[in-house]
Structure 1
Amino acid sequence: MTQSDNTVKLEANTESRHFGLRLDQVLADLFPEYSRSKLKNWILDGNVTVDGDVLTTPRQKMCGDEFIQVKAEMEVQTASLPQKIDLNIVYEDDSILIINKPADLVVHPGAGNQDGTLLNALLAHVPGIDVVPRAGIVHRLDKDTTGLMVVAKTVPAQTHLVNQLQDRVMSREYEALAYGTMVAGGIVDQPIGRHATKRTLMAVRETGKPAVTHYRVIEKFRAHTHLRLKLETGRTHQIRVHMAHLKHPLVGDTAYGGRTRLPKGATEECVEVLRAFPRQALHAAQLSLFHPETDEWMTWQAPLPDDMVQLIATVREDTKIKGMDDY
């Protein structure tokens, strides 16, 4: 396999085990670093030859002992422009990039955020990443959620990482501060779908997609709980929706938790910090995955950002002054 500029060239011989399989199935077996949909499109576009003949039928059966060649141009993203934006890079090599995303950084351009996004920053930081779908973005964090994200710098790396997500192999752990005092950890296994009336929000719905969140208590306060959460699935707003479903929405999450809740008789400092906290108190603290090239299991951690450190310290001090039972 070679990839120069935007051109991909692949060559392989089929084997006896491929007898009777469709061309698209054989390509998926021979070139697993590329998605099935991309391989199918290359067939349809006439980019695949078998023993020198162009085949454009994905369902064409193979006999084995054929010589397959693929020569295709990778689609370049032109809608977004590169922008020089500072990134907090935790790790980088030729295949992947791990960043610690700050609050207020939108991951992907959308309504109201056409530029100044992580995608714009990646187009500037990694020359050639415009041939990778979504500029290598494998998973997203909400605008106001901080923490670790992995970005694929090549198409094969992205395919590998997306497969890890779909197979629930990649591990993502978060820290959050939720309203209310939770007694113990547990699991939320509730499907999530688009909200019935508020179309920009998600909700627990019977018709939604499966969603599983594991959580455990790090520290209890008189009116709040510091949590560690692990995603088994990756639905939009999953942690925020699941915690709101448990009646323990995240501090600062006005979309799913409503207005700020103030503990009875809270200290002046506690009231001030809670009212001023500008976002959901959620941080992607740990990311683990198999490296797409070396297959090594790797783990990265990102400490809580300063605003969450101050928030937790403040509710801890309020609990110390007022006592656990005074709520």
Structure 2
Amino acid sequence: MTTQPIELRHTFDEKVYGKRLDLALSEAFEDFSRSRIQDWVKQGFVKVNDEVIKSNKHKMAGFELVEINAEVEVAGDWKPQAIDLDIVYEDEDLLVVNKPAGLVVHPGAGNQDGTMVNALLHHAPQLSNLPRAGIIHRLDKDTTGLLVVAKTIGAHTNLVEQLQNRAFTREYDAIVNRVMVSGGTVDAPIGRHPTKRTAMAVVADGRRAITHYRVAEKFLDHTHLKLRLETGRTHQIRVHMGYLKFPIVGDPLYSGRYRVPTKITPELKVALDSFKRQALHASKLGLKHPSTGEYIEWKVQMPSDMQHLRDELVANRDHFEGQED
């Protein structure tokens, strides 16, 4: 795997006072793991107020300017593959993809090909010269919706900085179990689950994670939510909804034991039983264009399987509420 230089900058506020350098950086640069950031610090790639700091235990005072000049792996060894992509926007700087369920974003253990990266390299071969083939943020394999991909180093640097500064608009649709009375905000740290290797959890020593949510529609035993990410932790919405005891329908990791509603039509039971992925869709994405600075926003409808599930939930509600009249 070849590497590509990358430049990151962030100006902190007073809230980082007393924090370790590596923790502050991992919260600011959300798309990079804490272990990678720790390595960058040890290798002397990190400057705080123009001074190289090589200790991850360095305490932050607040209002520092941090600059990282490091190298990241690029997609030189990944193979292009002719896989269809639903591209909703493209220009010389970026493209926006509507990802389907079942498509893995990055090659990895057990998924060396057939991924979005392989498809992107076939569509735009120059992406092999960019970190992660230009992909700025991720979606889980079975989460659908919008992803932005940078096509140049300049656009990549700009978009990563926007993401770090929480300047992206990222909104999701989700269908959750149980009826939620009203919306709110979850501000609960997320880290690796203490016993389940593949899962995340709300843990005291996790990274800060903030999810805003509101009720879009109520059904008899489910709720359609609109959610907005302020941070972007692994499995964040799925973990936070499970933490609130409103797990996402079909979620294989965080939904717990499925409870069949008392009022349910045969059609809804089939729809729920056959929904084998998390009912989560990235429906809106907004950002400032890296070249023009103009704010641009894209929206996509829920995929057909989620729309069918929602329609059956509506029909189920109408059926049983009609019986009460």
Q: Percent of pairs identical after alignment? A: 56
Matched, 1:97 2:95: yes
TM alignment of 1:40-119, pairs within 5 A: 77-119=75-117
Deviation at 1:168, TM superposition (A): 0.5
Deviation at 1:278, TM superposition (A): 1.8
Return closer, same or farther for 1:166/1:322 CA change in 2, 3 Å cut-off: same
Query: 1:7 & 1:314 partners in 2: Cα distance?
Result: 49
Deviation at 1:80, TM superposition (A): 1.1
Quote the residue 1:282 is aligned against: 280
Find 1:232's aligned residue among 226, 230, 233. Answer: 230
Query: 1:82 & 1:125 partners in 2: Cα distance?
Result: 8
Quote the residue 1:169 is aligned against: 167
Matched, 1:181 2:179: yes
Quote the residue 2:255 is aligned against: 257
Deviation at 1:224, TM superposition (A): 0.2
Query: 2:72 & 2:178 partners in 1: Cα distance?
Result: 51
Query: 2:146 & 2:109 partners in 1: Cα distance?
Result: 24
Verify the 8 A CA contact 2:220 2:263 in the aligned structure 1: no
Query: 2:212 & 2:112 partners in 1: Cα distance?
Result: 34
Find 1:206's aligned residue among 204, 207, 213. Answer: 204
**1:254 is paired with a residue of what secondary structure?**
coil
Query: 2:213 & 2:225 partners in 1: Cα distance?
Result: 7
Return closer, same or farther for 1:264/1:76 CA change in 2, 3 Å cut-off: closer
For residues 128-153 of structure 1, the C-alpha deviation after alignment (integer angstroms, 9 at most, x for no partner) is 11110000010000000000000011
Query: 1:304 & 1:259 partners in 2: Cα distance?
Result: 25
**1:110 is paired with a residue of what secondary structure?**
coil
Find 2:217's aligned residue among 213, 216, 219. Answer: 219
Verify the 8 A CA contact 2:74 2:133 in the aligned structure 1: no
CA RMSD of aligned residues (A): 2.6
Verify the 8 A CA contact 2:102 2:141 in the aligned structure 1: yes
Length-normalised TM-score, structure 1: 0.76
Query: 1:186 & 1:325 partners in 2: Cα distance?
Result: 32
Return closer, same or farther for 1:74/1:254 CA change in 2, 3 Å cut-off: closer
**2:241 is paired with a residue of what secondary structure?**
helix
Query: 2:112 & 2:73 partners in 1: Cα distance?
Result: 20
Quote the residue 2:291 is aligned against: 293
Deviation at 1:76, TM superposition (A): 5.3
Name the amino acid aligned to 1:142.
D
Deviation at 1:325, TM superposition (A): 11
Query: 1:234 & 1:7 partners in 2: Cα distance?
Result: 24
Deviation at 1:262, TM superposition (A): 1.8
Return closer, same or farther for 1:263/1:92 CA change in 2, 3 Å cut-off: same
TM alignment of 1:103-142, pairs within 5 A: 103-142=101-140
Deviation at 1:214, TM superposition (A): 0.3
Length-normalised TM-score, structure 2: 0.77
Query: 1:147 & 1:277 partners in 2: Cα distance?
Result: 17
Deviation at 1:295, TM superposition (A): 0.6
Return closer, same or farther for 1:190/1:324 CA change in 2, 3 Å cut-off: farther
Bigger mean CA deviation after superposition, 153-162 or 253-262: 253-262
Structure 2 unaligned residues grouped into runs of 5+: 6-36, 45-50, 53-70
Return closer, same or farther for 1:296/1:225 CA change in 2, 3 Å cut-off: same
Verify the 8 A CA contact 2:89 2:95 in the aligned structure 1: yes
Return closer, same or farther for 1:280/1:264 CA change in 2, 3 Å cut-off: same
Verify the 8 A CA contact 2:72 2:131 in the aligned structure 1: no
Deviation at 1:233, TM superposition (A): 0.2
Quote the residue 1:149 is aligned against: 147
Return closer, same or farther for 1:297/1:260 CA change in 2, 3 Å cut-off: same
Return closer, same or farther for 1:241/1:135 CA change in 2, 3 Å cut-off: same
Verify the 8 A CA contact 1:75 1:131 in the aligned structure 2: no
Matched, 1:307 2:284: no
Query: 2:4 & 2:200 partners in 1: Cα distance?
Result: 40
Return closer, same or farther for 1:227/1:214 CA change in 2, 3 Å cut-off: same
Query: 1:325 & 1:160 partners in 2: Cα distance?
Result: 56
Query: 1:77 & 1:164 partners in 2: Cα distance?
Result: 22
Query: 1:319 & 1:260 partners in 2: Cα distance?
Result: 19
Aligned length: 266
